[in-house]
Amino acid sequence: MSQQPEKFEATSANITDEQKTKLKSLFPEIITEGGKVDFDRLKLTLGAVVDNGKERYGMNWPGKADCFKTIQRPSMATLMPARDESVNFDTTENLIIEGDNLETLKLLQKAYLGKVKLIYIDPPYNTGSDFIYPDDFSESLETYLRYTGQVDNEGRKFSTNAETDGRFHSKWMNMMYPRLYLARNLLRDDGAIFVSIDDNEVDNLKKICNEVFGEENFVSQITVQNNPRGRQSDTFVATVHEYVLIYAKNAEDCVLGGASLSDEQRADFDLKDADGKAYRLLGLRQRGAASLREDRPDMFFPIYVNPKTLRISLEKDESFSVEVLPRKSTGQDGRWMWGKDKTKRDSHLVEARLIERRGEYDIFVHDYLERGGKERERKFKSIWDEKAFNTQNGTQEVKAILESDAMSFPKPTDYIKTIVQMGADANDLVLDFFAGSGTTAHAVLEQNKQDKGHRKFILVQLPEPTDRKDFPTVAEITKERVRRVIKKLNDSNVNQLSSPAVEKQDRGFKVFKLQSSNFKAWNTEQPKDDAALAKQLTLHADHLIDGRTQEDVLYELLLKSGFPLTTKVEKITLAEKTVFSVADGMMLICLEKELTPEVIKAMAEKKPERVVCLDAGFADNDQLKTNAVQMMKSKGVTKFQTV
């Protein structure tokens, strides 16, 4: 530790630095003394794997290079807490973030890297007028602030995307690519992303996802019948469907669940074994096989039955005397779907039954309802045609919950619950950064009630104007819907004997709003004359933005230090000063503007890993700052920073 505290980095994660760190861990020899990547050395290291050809398979479009510039540019924004719009702010681990999702995804990189199990998004389908976006991707935060009226409207650069525009598809792709790239970083290794889309951009979306996630991580393209009547405005064929594209973070590690059995399917397991476990019998003989027995001798082998116990054996003796497989030479008489080794190993699961109408025995296997102590599930199929998935149902749901026709054709809750069942186990984190009316949060809360789970959600929604008085922005619809769903769920528990698991379910959410940093940025574009420089120095004597609270600053420091926004924070008093204890004392943050030797000593004696203070709190007292550094060092504080 030097004689001066470290300066706190008030930006989001630097994606370029992180990628370079990954390269260095794999190929340390390619990093030069100046920290640059030597691509010639990289080529030598990879040898023949390097493709030097000018023509190669890939996808390109106008603006793709700018997408990478957008990804690599750290955010100077922050997420400001809005307690009065939240539900159970101090205890909940759910989040609703109001703001541009590109900036928000950048801000989440440090704290939520590799922590999200399921991402579901329902992005704009690019129908010509269904989304608003910043034309100037280099000024996303500034454009967002203009758009939301947080600064003046001069230079506002938001517009719809018209089909007459020559860059109709490329503008949509420029909007999607950086968001998907950043979203992938947030997924766990066993996680997956589900993206709703229709025919307008499904081809481009799949190509983008192939590039971002890798073709090898493609899971499925599910067809969803969401409009059984058909879209009558279509010219030739009435469209009744849309799609859900599924990509894994890593297909080898990905874990996706199946659908719960229906009562009818569960009733099929109507037998009990000696231990009382429910099972059904599945036939093992595959009839109608085309192969002759002499052509595929390994597929045919004799199985012998004990007529009294109906157990089977691969060896013939006095007890096992009846051969099941006929001796005829054609495959029409049957072969066994299990191999010889598996049949021998699992013979305890196999039994014979006399088929009286044929006068011969057939072989069946015990198929159990539970596997590994958990009721089995069925695999989801690539076509979803449930009546509940009709988008009209989503419209009626919102109308019933909000008592207003605030949004047309949102996804139905049952639709998203199906995705949650497939992609998120009981304690997983779910992210939706095109949240719309908040169906994903509704689905998570409902699914938690159904299976006593404890899934958490993060929603991100742009405060897009609606021209309504009751809900002036889409973000207001999102928040109010989730509030009312929580109230309805809580009311349903009144006068009921809820289980402890249900009573502990998280039915709340913290609201955060995207805003410029709490700290004044040094303006590098100002004139460099003495008067302008003096003015900037005066402004930065106290570089906190006017009107920002300690809690506002606290959450910016948490997020940019890599702590989730739901991290436990306790406000304590040390030496008559307010100090925030983060994660049970792992980090201490003091935002007092008048620091004293006593509070410095008191924080050091708590022996946290990290301490952050306002630089202005030292009031240019270099001796106090130097003593603080030494005090922290003597108590084993590994990082002491000022901001």
Interval 54-65 mean pLDDT: 80
- Give the pLDDT confidence of 572-593 residue by residue, as tens digits: 999 999 999 999 999 999 999 9
Q: Are residues 123 and 159 in the same domain?
A: yes
C-alpha span between 235 and 374 (Å, rounded)? 49
| Calpha distance 446→199 (Å, rounded) | 30
Confirm if 97 and 434 have CB atoms less than 8 A apart. no
Q: Is residue 525 part of a domain?
A: no
CATH assignment at residue 110: 3.40.50.150
Prediction pTM value:
0.83
Check whether residue 109 and residue 212 sit in a common domain: yes
Query: Is 267 part of any domain?
Result: no
Quick: pLDDT tens for 249-288: 999 999 899 888 888 989 999 999 888 999 998 876 655 4
Given a contact cutoff of 8 angstroms between Cβ atoms, the answer to whether 116 and 187 are in contact is: yes
Q: Report the 10 Å Cβ neighbour count for 516.
A: 18
Total residue length of the chain: 643
Same structural domain, 542 and 600: yes
Q: Is residue 611 part of a domain?
A: yes
Q: How far apart are CA 432 and CA 222, in angstroms?
A: 19
Q: How confident is the model at residue 502 (pLDDT cuts 50, 70, 90)?
A: low
Same domain, 171 and 150: yes
192 and 231 co-located in one domain: yes
Q: Has residue 363 got a pLDDT over 70?
A: yes
Cβ neighbours of residue 245 under 8 Å, at least 6 residues apart? Answer: 194, 195, 197, 202, 205, 206, 209, 220, 221, 222
The pLDDT value given to residue 60: 87
Q: Are 228 and 388 in contact (CB under 8 A)?
A: no
Token code pair at residue 237: 């064929």
Count the domains in the chain.
4
pLDDT band at 331 (very low <50, low <70, confident <90, very high): very low
How many whole angstroms separate alpha carbon 627 and alpha carbon 623? 6
Strands (E), 57-184: 77-81, 95-98, 116-121, 133-134, 158-159
Same domain? For 305 and 201 the reply is no
3-state SS, one letter per residue, for 273-341: CCCCCEEEEEECEECCCCCCCCCCHHHCCCCEECCCCCCEECCCCCCCCEECCCCCCCHHHCEECCCHH
Instruction: Say if residue 296 is in the same domain as residue 342.
Output: yes
pLDDT of 130 strictly over 60: no
Tokens representing residue 41 in the block: 């050395």
274 domain residue, yes or no: no
Residue 373 lies in a domain: no
Give the residue numbers spanning the domain of 285: 281-366
The pLDDT of residue 134? 55
- One domain, residues 194 and 131: yes
Q: Quick check: is 269 in a domain?
A: no
Structure tokens at 379: 């695999």
- Give the span between the Cα atoms of 527 and 531, in whole angstroms: 9
- Rounded mean pLDDT of 476-487? 98
pLDDT of residue 35: 75
Query: Of 490, 516, 542, which closes a domain?
Result: 516
User: Residues 117, 212: one domain?
Assistant: yes
| Residue 217: alpha-carbon gap to chain centroid | 16
3-class SS of residue 198: coil
* Mean pLDDT estimate for the chain: 85
Residue 498 shares a structural domain with residue 579: no
- Same structural domain, 488 and 556: no
Kindly state the average pLDDT of the residues 208-218: 95
Strand partners, 569: 582
In which band, very low, low, confident or very high, does the pLDDT at 328 lie, cut at 50, 70 and 90? Answer: very low
Tell whether 168 is covered by a domain: yes
> Among residues 308, 340, 366, which one ends one of the domains?
366
pLDDT of residue 249: 97
Position 535 pLDDT exceeds 50: no
Residues 385 and 419 grouped into a single domain: yes
Locate 144 and state its tokens: 């967002």
- Domain C-terminal end among 336, 366, 396: 366
Residue 264 lies in a domain: no
State how far the Cα of 240 lies from the Cα of 391, in Å rounded to an integer. Answer: 11
